[in-house]
Structure formats: C-alpha cells, structure tokens
C-alpha cells in the first residue's frame, strides 16, 4: 500500500498514536503527521467538498490522545511535585533552563499557558506536570489543555488541507522511492536523536564543570 493511501485509510489512528506518544515524551514529529493527514483528508473529500467532518474526526482524535497523556503527567505532578518536573526536564536539552523558563511563564500566565504551550517546543511537557504540582483544579486543567490541543492540531490540519495538492505530490514522490525513502527517513531520525543526545550530554558536562569551578 502506498504511503498516501495508507495515510488516507489509517490517518486517524496515526494521529492518535503520534500525539499520544509525543505527549508522553517520545521524540515524534507530530506536526508533519497532522499536515500529511490533513492533506490526505482534504484530497479524499475534495470531490464531494465535505472536508470539515473528516478533519473534525482527526482533530477529536488528536485532542483525546493529548489529554489522556497529559492527565498522566498532571497526576504525576500533583502526587510527586517537583520530582515529576525534574523527570520531564531530563528529557530536554537543558534541565535547569527548562525548569526556570517554564516556571517564569507559568508564574505570569498560570494555567492559560496551556493554550499556547504546544507551539513552544518542550514547554507543554513541563507546563502540564507544573499545573498538577501547583494545585490547578482538574476541570480548569482539562478545559485549557483541550483548548490548546485543539488550536495546535487545527493549525496542522488546516495547513495540510490548504496545501493538499503539494503535500500529496510529495507523498507520491516518497512512494516512488519505495524502500529508499524509509532508509532516508530512518537515517534522519537516527541523526536527530544522536544530535539531541550529544547536546544533552554536552550540556550536563558543562553544568558539572561550572559547578566544580564555583565550589
């Protein structure tokens, strides 16, 4: 089955699993998935013109997956407090900068930060447990988290739908490459993960050296 045909058939499931994994902390490229699925849904519904309903279903899947994952981090933040925050920040390139930046934003905006947090890489992963640790009410958290997820996912889906012809052409080109496209994609992911690991290791080494010099 060609990639664009696979996306057309399993796009909702792909978005659900992608958003769920990324919200749990896995380094998954969610926005490209949203754009590809949005383009595929628009191309499939192009003849009838009824694209709003398919996109709404994908949007609902993205919001559901994000809220389910975020609730786990929210509960962790409420139960374990700063330990959960440090655990999440360990996934970022700089733990100290991650904590200080998120606390600064949260002190200014509170739970409303969740509405825009997903547009800022790494911020939502820390803002969610911080909401739990700060005693944010569950109803308020879910409401703001859903609003942020819906806004973020809608941007990706609408972009895909708006440029569906170009995205479909790109997917068709990748289909023509066959197995070579998988090798290239796998190599790119491996290089990205290696880069993140090297940056994190270098940041940790620099922090230790700075601490040793200060003492």
Domain boundaries, the chain: 2-170
Mention every residue, 6+ apart, whose C-beta is less than 8 A from residue 62.
15, 16, 19, 34, 149, 150, 153
> Are 101 and 52 contacting, i.e. CB atoms less than 8 angstroms apart?
no
| Cα(140)–Cα(144) distance, integer angstroms | 6
Q: How far is residue 22's CA from residue 153's CA, in Å, rounded to a whole number?
A: 13
Q: What is the C-alpha to C-alpha distance for residues 85 and 95, in angstroms, rounded to an integer?
A: 9
Segment 137-195, tens digit of pLDDT: 999 999 999 999 999 999 999 988 888 777 666 666 656 555 555 555 556 556 655 65
Burial 43-61 (b: 16+ CB within 10 A, else e): bbbeeeeebeebbeebbeb
Look up the pTM and report it. 0.74
């Amino acid at each position: 089955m060609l990639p664009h045909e696979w996306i057309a058939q399993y796009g909702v499931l792909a978005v659900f699993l992608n958003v769920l994994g990324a919200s749990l902390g896995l380094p998954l490229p969610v926005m490209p998935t949203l754009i590809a699925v949005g383009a595929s849904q628009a191309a499939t519904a192009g003849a009838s013109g009824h694209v709003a309903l398919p996109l709404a279903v994908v949007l609902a899947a993205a919001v559901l997956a994000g809220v389910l994952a975020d609730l786990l981090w929210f509960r962790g933040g409420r139960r374990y407090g700063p330990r959960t925050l440090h655990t999440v920040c360990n996934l970022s390139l700089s733990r100290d900068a991650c904590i200080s930046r998120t606390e600064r934003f949260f002190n200014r905006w509170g739970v409303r930060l969740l509405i825009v947090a997903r547009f800022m890489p790494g911020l939502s992963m820390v803002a969610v447990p911080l909401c739990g640790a700060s005693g944010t009410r569950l109803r308020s958290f879910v409401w703001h988290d859903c609003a942020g997820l819906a806004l973020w996912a809608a941007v990706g889906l609408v972009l895909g739908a708006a440029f569906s012809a170009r995205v479909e052409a790109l997917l068709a080109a990748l289909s023509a490459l066959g197995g070579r496209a998988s090798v290239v994609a796998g190599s790119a992911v491996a290089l990205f993960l290696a880069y993140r690991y090297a940056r994190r290791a270098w940041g940790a080494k620099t922090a230790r050296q700075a601490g040793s010099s200060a003492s």
